[in-house]
Chains A and B, each alone.
Chain A
Amino acid sequence: MTLVSEPPRRGGTPHLGAVAAQGFGLVAAALFIAPVAWTALSSFKPEAEARQPPLPPWPTTGFSVDTYRSLDQFGAGIGRYTWNSSVVAVGTVALTVLVSLLAGYGFSRFRFPLKNALFVVVMATIMIPFQSILTPLFILLSRLGLQNSLAGLVLVYVTLQLPFSVFMMRNAFDAVPREIEEAARLDGCSSLQLLARIMLPLVLPGIVTVALFAFLASWNEFLAALIFISDDRLYTLPVMMTAVSAGRMGSVDWGALQAGITVMMVPCLILFLLLQRYYIRGLTAGAVK
């Protein structure tokens, strides 16, 4: 991102203004980070301390993983639910990347009947909230034997990611100069070889963006997971943690809740911090166009 430079013009006390501006930034940044940091730090308190108000947020009576142990007592264990969420997220990422890579290539480089109409149809689904098709989707998945299965959830998530992902990948292919593939075609490459050997590395940034969005969306999705998964052994983390927050016999295990929230947040935060520029690029691609 390019920053617009402005001529320095604030006469008088530029220093004081700059200090005040930095002060504002620090306080605001602290406010935005605080809830996340508070939870992650508190999750390492011993059981008794975790029930107390988190003042201060860090453990004062020794570091402990008690909260994670008690979280593991819920249902089939936290390992099982983390596995479910991971299967759904990795499956969604893999299938979204594969399908949108092929479609992006097709929409960018080939001419065929109804091409524009098909592209518009895929894009138009973004205008329609998926919440309004949940009821028939539930019936459709049961008929296909995909209701109450992680595979069914993956297929729904991939479909929801497609408008954005196909748009991103088509743009990525559009940005690749055509001379490159024409040269390869002369050398006798088939379309598929061309895609795998020559185009793939060139559209890699687009793939990373698509994968990141697919991961965050599927890892965090709640409503469809709540509706389509009825077997509590197949719950994903958000659904399972909602059961934890409802409490057992009227009391909520706050320590377990902090631990579970931390498990849910950490992968998202790490991926975002590592791949931030791909995320912002995906966000602004739609805003600029």
Chain B
Amino acid sequence: MRRKRGCALLGITLRALLRRRLAAGLLIAVAAGGAFSAIVLQNLTLRQEAALRETIENTTITCTVTNARGTDSGNLQMLSAFVEMLVGMRRERGCDLDDYIKNVRARAEASLVKPAKVTLRRILSLDSDPALSQAEGCSVQFLDGWEESLLRGREMVCLVPPEWATADGVVTVCTEQEPPVSLQIAGIVTNGPANVIYCPYFMPWQADVSVAFLTDSCAFDIRDNHRLEESKEAIYQWFVRPNLSNQLDGLTFGVLVHDEAFQRNVARLRESLSMLRLLQPLLIVLCGGIGFFASFLATRGRTGEFAVMRCIGIGRWRTFSLIMAELLLLAAMGLLLGVVASALLEGWPPPRAWLSVLRMTAVLLLGAAFAALRITRVSIMKVMRVED
């Protein structure tokens, strides 16, 4: 019975409000505009976040190993154990650098006694040696069954210039210290460096016998750019930052992380993103203010109407509830309009946008509540006197 009466009352007051088309329209427009803006702003933020994430993930941050002073990166004379560390072969000794880096490129070379005046160049990948780059006009053709990954293995194979290709597909090499070994030809290097034979970086001279040698150059990439600082910290546990004042002890090497442009630009993009995020509360406050204004306009001319309600025994709280219900209904209509408009323009709002809309609505209603509270707190006697 009480609910029925409440509904009837709400119907009456709502009709009274709807007669004030301007105020009602303004409230609906504010709610619609607020919801639309909140969704659009949230979408902008999400889009910017996704783009930034994509940028961070797709950027390759290269690290170059230099000597400790940073004066050379091409004749490091770095023990191959360092490269083992980088590729994750020394995890049992507590080095987990390969968790932070990937795509290690290393090159080492040794003079051969046989064939005479020929160099054996150990490489971890084709891009370990700039001389094999496309820019130099060089191309590498792997023979049947072989591919570039063989350079990371320990097979006794080699890549040779075309003139070195033999009928049996084998080249015999030896150094001053090592006995002759036969390497199977796995690929042909066209227009590459003359008198150079390439082999897998970790190729042993004898099966199951590991070798130690000096590495000329080494570079690698950061595995996960989201963990850049953590990765740098891990890298600098094993390497130093190159500086001319560093001492050269032969066992210390520097690493240059080429992240300056990345850091600078990502920071700028993050700041733009922060601005978008900070605009949301601003918009919410704006909506709250306008909501209060619209509610104030919607209720201020109805003082007498509410005074009569109070005279016939309707309590202050009930009056307040009635006003809020009216405003809530109008706000809901506005929200619906805003959501539909944004869905038409930007697609269905993502969950985070709903949260933003809810926040905006709450603030809007808070503004409305202030307006409603103001009108319900007016003294009945005073109002009646004014009407007289």
* Same complex origin of A and B: no
